[in-house]
Amino acid sequence: MKKYFFIGFLCSFSYFFAQKKEELFTVKDSITIQTKDNAFLSLTLILNKDKNPQNTILINTIYPDKNNIELLRNFVNNGYAGVILHARGKYLSNNDIEPFEHDADDINAAIDWIIKQPWSNGKVGMLGGSYLGFSQWAAAKKLHPALKTIIPQAATGIGTMSFPMNNNIFMGYALQWLDYVTTNKTTNSKSFYDQKKWNLIFKKWYESGTSFRKLDSISGKPNAVFQEWLDHPGYDDYWKKMIPYKEEFSKIDIPVLSVTGYFDVDKTGALYYFNQHYKYHKNAEHYLIIGPYDHWGAQGFIKNEVRGYKMDPAAMIDLKKIWLQWFDYALKNKTKPIFLKDKINYEVMGSNEWKGIKSINENQNNIKLYLEESLILSNNKSKEEKFSTLMVNLADKSDADELLGLKYNILDNFIYTKNNIVFKTKPFSKPIEYTGNFSGNLSFSVNKKDVDLYINLYEETENRQYFLLSTYVSRTSFVNDNENRNLLVPGKKQMISIINNDFVSKKIEKRSRIVLMIGVVKSPFWQLNYGSGKDVSDETIADAKVPLEIKLYNNSYIKLPVVKN
C-alpha cells in the first residue's frame, strides 16, 4: 500500500473548534495525500477527545468552506471521527478541476488513508447531499471494503438523469454551476448567486438565436468542461464511468439510506439510484425517506413553507437525528431508526401522516385516463380517432422576459398556458390518495425530426388553486433509449412511453380535478430543440424554419397511481 501513497502536510496545522463547553474538536486542515495516478487531494480532519479508534464519517465535496465542519459536528460529538475530502482540483489540490470525473477513485484513495490512521477502527460511512450525494454512488461503483454504509441526500443523477441533462435535455444552469465550481479553488459564490446576471445571459442567448454551444462565450467565460459535456448528449461511456451502471448495482451490498423530496430538483437522480439498486439487487438493504422537501430540505434544512406550499406538521422531522441513528445502526450494531417503518417511507401531503411501503408500485390501483380531443381526461377510450393540435413558433423569442419571470410555485392560482395543451378530469366525487409515479403512452405526430416535450400534472382544487404534483421533460428521440438517438419521421404517427423516476404522495380533495399539461420545451433556461435532426447543441434559429406542429391523438393515455382503499 505504501508504494501507492505519499502522505503530505502542506502548512498542516491543528486548532480547536468549540461552540459549547462540552464540545471540543481538534481540526487538522491542509492535509494532502497523493493518489495512484499522482494527483494530490486535500483533506480536513475533525477529531473529538476520545483517544480510542473510531468509526469515520466521510464527506466528499466540491464546495470547500470552513462551515463544512458543521456537516460533521453532530457525528464527531457522538463518537465518530470526521473527514472532509475536497474534490480533485479544489482547495489545496493543484490538479485540474474536472467535476464528477475522478470521485470514485479519489474517495477510495481517501479511505485507504483513513483506515491506516491510529484514530480509525477501519470502518467508514459517508453522507451528504447534491454533489456530495452523487459522490457516494461514485464510491459505490468501486466499493471499498472499508466503506460500510452511505446516506446520499438529494443525490445528483449525473448524465441524463437530473444534471447536466434531464432526460437528455441540457439546462443552462449547467454553465452557471460550472462557473461556480471551476473558477477558483473554493467557489465563485458572488457570480453564482447573482441570478439577475445569469438571467440576462440566458436571455441574450435565447433572443440571439445562436447555438446552445455558444452559451459560455455569451457569458464572457468559455468553459472547456461545458463544451465537453455538450459532446455527450446521450448516456455514453463518458457518463457511465462516473456512477454504477446496470449490473454494477448488484454488487452494492452495504446498507443505504436515501433521502429526497417531492420538490427536490435532483429527485429524479435520487430515485434513479434507488430504482436501479433494487432492479439489479432484489435483496438490497436500501431505505428511502421522501417528503414535501426541496433540495435543501432533503439535506436536513427543512422549511415549513416551500414555494407557496405550507408543510403538514408531520413533515417537520429531525433528519439529522435519523442520520445519526442510522450510522449507529450500520457502524455500531445498534437498533435501526424507529422512523423507518418500511423500505419507502413517505409523507402524504394533506393527510399529515407518514406511511411505509416495500416498493414504488405497492398498493396501487392505477386510474387510466385518455386524452380526448375535447380536452377532457376520460376514463373511456373513444372509438373514433381524433387529435388535439399544438402549434409553436420556435423562432419567436418575444416571450423571453415573460418566461424568465415565471414563478414555478407549488401552489398557485395561475398556470402558464402558452405553448401547451391542457386536459382536465371531471371533479372527483370523493377524496383519493395519489401516491407513486404517473406513467402513460403518448400517441402523436410532429412535422419535425425531433421535439422536446414536458408534462406537468396538477391538482386543481374546488377554489381554483393549482397544486403541482409532478413534472416530466424528455427529448423524444431519446425516450426509448437514452444512450442512442433515434430521430422521428416527420408526419408519422408514433407512440412513446412516459418513463420517469418520480414519486409523490398527496391527498386529492373531493371536487378537485386532475389537470394534465403537455407542452413543448421553449425557454431561456433550457437547450432549444429546433427539430432539424442535427446535434441540438449546434442548431440555430436558422433551423426553426416552419413552426412546429404536433398532433396528440386520443388513444394517448396516462395512468394515475392511486392507493387502494
pLDDT, tens only, 444-476: 999 999 999 999 999 999 999 999 999 999 999
CATH 3.40.50.1820 matches 25-168+247-357: yes
* Residue at 9: amino acid letter: F
Residue-wise pLDDT for 138-157, tens only, equals 999 999 999 999 999 999 99
For residue 551, give the H/E element and its range: strand 548-553
Q: Which helix (H) or strand (E) holds 178?
A: helix 173-182
- Decide if 517 contacts 422 (C-beta within 8 A): yes
Q: Return the closest-CA partner of residue 428 out of 469, 389, 462, 395.
A: 462
| Domain extents in the chain | 25-168+247-357, 169-232, 364-563
Which pairs from 308-314 meet CB under 8 Å and 24+ separation? 308/409, 308/410, 308/411, 308/412, 309/263, 309/349, 309/409, 309/410, 309/411, 309/467, 312/347, 312/349, 312/350, 312/351, 312/352, 313/352, 314/347, 314/352, 314/353, 314/354
Q: How far apart are CA 442 and CA 427, in angstroms?
A: 23
Q: Give tens-digit pLDDT for 471-507.
A: 999 999 999 999 999 999 999 999 999 988 899 999 9
Helices (H), 101-144: 103-114, 131-141
In angstroms, rounded to a whole number, what is the distance separating the alpha carbons of residues 77 and 22? 9
Query: Count of alpha carbons within 13 Å of 509, Cβ hemisphere only?
Result: 14
The CATH T-level fold of domain 364-563 is Jelly Rolls (2.60.120)
Region 90-94 average pLDDT:
96
Above 90 in pLDDT, residue 8?
A: no
| Identity of the amino acid at 400 | A
Other C-beta atoms closer than 10 Å to the C-beta of 272 total 21
Q: What is the mean pLDDT of residues 32-52?
A: 97
pLDDT-derived band of residue 23, with 50, 70 and 90 as boundaries? low
User: What's at 82, amino acid-wise?
Assistant: G
pLDDT of 2 > 90? The answer is no
Residue 17: the pLDDT is 45
Mean pLDDT score of the chain:
95
Q: How large is the angle between the packed helices 103-114 and 131-141, nearest 10 degrees?
A: 80
**Model pLDDT for residues 257-312, shown as the tens digit of each residue:** 999 999 999 999 999 999 999 999 999 999 999 999 999 999 999 999 999 999 99
Return the amino acid letter for 499: I
What percent of the chain has a predicted confidence (pLDDT) above 90?
A: 93
The DSSP secondary-structure symbol of 335 reads P
At 501 the pLDDT is 85
| Average pLDDT estimate for 16-30 | 68
Task: Reply yes or no on whether the pLDDT at 115 is more than 80.
Answer: yes
Q: What is the mean pLDDT of residues 159-173?
A: 98
Please report which confidence band the pLDDT of residue 365 belongs to, taking 50, 70 and 90 as the band edges: confident
Phi then psi dihedrals of residue 519, to 5 deg = -145, 180
Pick from 193, 180, 191, 170: nearest CA to 223: 180
Of 194, 202, 196, the residue nearest 173 (C-alpha): 202
pLDDT, position 22: 54
Give residue 360's pLDDT.
83
The predicted structure's pLDDT at residue 387:
97
By CB neighbour count within 10 A (0-12 exposed, 13-18 middle, 19+ buried), where does 119 fall? middle
The secondary structure of 425-439, three-state, reads CCCCCCCEEEEECCE
What average pLDDT score do residues 337-356 get?
98
Residue 30: phi and psi, rounded to 5, are: 70, 20
pLDDT for 389 beyond 60: yes
Q: Is the pLDDT of residue 3 over 50?
A: no
Give the pLDDT confidence score for residue 15 in this predicted structure.
39
Q: Three-class SS of residue 210?
A: coil
Could you give the dihedral angle defined by the CA atoms of residues 303, 306, 309 and 311, in that order, rounded to the nearest 10 degrees? -20
Is residue 564 scored above 80 in pLDDT? no
**Do 130 and 264 touch, CB atoms closer than 8 A?**
no
How many C-beta atoms lie closer than 10 Å to residue 555's C-beta?
17
Instruction: Round to whole Å and give the CA distance between 246 and 252.
Output: 11
What average pLDDT does the segment 133-139 reach? 99
